[in-house]
Amino acid sequence: MRTITLLLAAAGMLAAADNGFVSLFNGKDLTGWTLFAKKGGGYLVENGMLVCPENGGGNLLTDKEYSDFVLRLQFKLTPGGNNGVGLRAPLAGDIAYSGMEIQILDQEHERYKGKLQPWQNTGSIYNVVPAKGDALKPVGEWNQYEITAKGPNVKIVLNGKTLVDADLSTITDPEVLKKHPGIQRKSGRVGFLGHNTRVEFRNIQIKEL
């Protein structure tokens, strides 16, 4: 099974390269990534997947910085899973504020159900722009994100449904800008923001624009 998984991952990397996408994860180790604000066991590589384990996580960010790009990845939640995709992030601070965080959350879990603000649902820009609707698959199934950042415009598509299409330059509230200086950043790292719950990732690819 491990051999089949790695072969499929390799085939996916070749197909992505033909479309201008570059793989960010080699399926073997964390080459090209930097971990800071580590939690527990950090991140693992299992059967060709990047895994934030239970009682692990922290901020796992690319060594390289990106400005305008399309980011594609797949993620799979376990019950109560909570993670995020960091965009234009620095190696400092809480990325949800110093950069941007795109939510990944099992929002139907009893731990969260009925307790969330709209901007906490999967697909939202955390604490800034709420997702419009829901396209999250059941726990245990693979989800597909396509996130486009071009200048101040951020578009988030989950499983083929657009949940956010925002022009961040229209946010002028001084309190929001003070709390979220990251939404004005023009470049930074991308990666994952783990919260002590198991979430699996694969097919992590980026195309610079």
The domains of the chain, with CATH numbers, are 2-208 (2.60.120.560)
DSSP lists the bridge partners of residue 56 as 40
Predicted pLDDT at 103? 98
Q: Which secondary-structure segment (H or E) carries 147?
A: strand 142-150
What tokens were used for 85?
A: 């995709």
Q: What are phi and psi of 183, to 5 degrees?
A: -70, -10
pLDDT, one tens digit per residue, over 1-33 is: 555 545 555 555 555 556 999 999 999 999 999
Predicted pLDDT at 113? 85
Q: Is a pLDDT exceeding 60 seen at residue 93?
A: yes
Confidence of residue 136 (pLDDT cuts 50, 70, 90): very high
DSSP secondary structure code for residue 39 in this structure: E
Q: Residues of the chain with pLDDT > 90: what percent?
A: 90
